[in-house]
Amino acid sequence: MSLDEANTSAQDIDSISNRAILHRFQKLFSLPRDEKLVNYYTCCYWKGKVPCQGQMYLSVNFLCFYSFIMGTQT
């Protein structure tokens, strides 16, 4: 496998991963398909004394947080 072929494979994997993340973001927050995701981050949100580990999604029009801990969603 050449270096160019390896780079192409890595780009294909990244593209598939990015599409999956975009689809999850749009589905979780019931957003339209044309909403553009700028970036996403793994982070922690403190609610009272309990930290909520989750993901923060930054899109062109929204800043969203999703956490699923011990059967509860935030």
Count how many Cα atoms sit within 13 Å of the Cα of residue 37 in the half-sphere of its side chain: 22
Question: Which pLDDT value is given to residue 43?
Answer: 92
Which structural domain range is residue 20 located in? 3-73
CATH code assigned at 12 = 2.30.29.30
The pTM score is: 0.71
- Give residue 52's pLDDT: 83
Per-residue pLDDT of the chain (74 residues; tens, 9 = 90+): 444 444 455 566 567 788 899 999 999 999 999 999 999 999 998 878 878 889 999 999 999 999 876 655 55
Domain count for the chain: 1
Strand pairing class (37-47; 50-59): antiparallel
